[in-house]
Amino acid sequence: MGFEIRSMHIEDYDQVLALWKRSKGIGLSSADERESIQSFLRYNPNLCFVARNGELIIGTALCGFDGRRGYLYHLAVDEAFRCQGIGNALMQRSLDELHKIGGQKCHLLVYFENESAQSFYKQTGWVLRTDILVMSKDLGCGSEPGSC
């Protein structure tokens, strides 16, 4: 089945959110509300992509750059379209664009129980860090405990 990759626009939001909601392994929080995603896209132009099959959005990759490191979020491919290279292509597109603007390393967060995604990431060259823990601080803006 064919697919094309293009930059994500806020107009894609409804389809994108629906995809995230039906993708086990994607954690959603207030950071995924429309306004927050719009802000993320503004901060990170040309780092976030969707894969499309016709008018249907079948995959997403969000990448953020803070000027030092990149962070990959919400890599997801619709179940019906998995194992065709779409996840890898989306991820690689974000990483290529990150590299072009000076990013030399990218990090990502995966839930412990998401063994399938961990296998995918190992298969695609990501290295499991055993020397660091993720710590988070809620800045009182209403984010849920445990959300990423």
Ligand X SMILES: CC(C)(COP(=O)(O)OP(=O)(O)OC[C@H]1O[C@@H](n2cnc3c(N)ncnc32)[C@H](O)[C@@H]1OP(=O)(O)O)[C@@H](O)C(=O)NCCC(=O)NCCS
Q: Site residues (CB under 6 A) for ligand X?
A: 23, 25-26, 75-77, 82-88, 110, 114, 116-117, 119-120, 123-124
Residue closest to 148 by CA, chosen among 111, 95, 103, 98: 111
- By beta-carbon proximity to ligand X, the closer residue of 78 and 97 is 78
Task: Annotate 15-41 with DSSP letters as a single string.
Answer: HHHHHHHTSTT----GGGSHHHHHHHH
- By beta-carbon proximity to ligand X, the closer residue of 26 and 48 is 26
Residue closest to 63 by CA, chosen among 21, 141, 112, 5: 5
Residue type, 8: M
Question: Smallest distance, Å, CB 16 to ligand X?
Answer: 13
Question: Smallest distance, Å, CB 59 to ligand X?
Answer: 7
Question: Smallest distance, Å, CB 140 to ligand X?
Answer: 26
Question: Smallest distance, Å, CB 80 to ligand X?
Answer: 11
Taking the CA of residue 47 as centre, how many other CA atoms within 13 Å lie in the half-sphere pointing to its CB?
A: 26
- By beta-carbon proximity to ligand X, the closer residue of 112 and 142 is 112
Question: Smallest distance, Å, CB 12 to ligand X?
Answer: 16
- By beta-carbon proximity to ligand X, the closer residue of 15 and 84 is 84
- By beta-carbon proximity to ligand X, the closer residue of 41 and 61 is 61
Strand order in the sheet with 70-77: 4-7, 49-53, 56-65, 70-77, 106-108
CA distance 33 to 17: 9
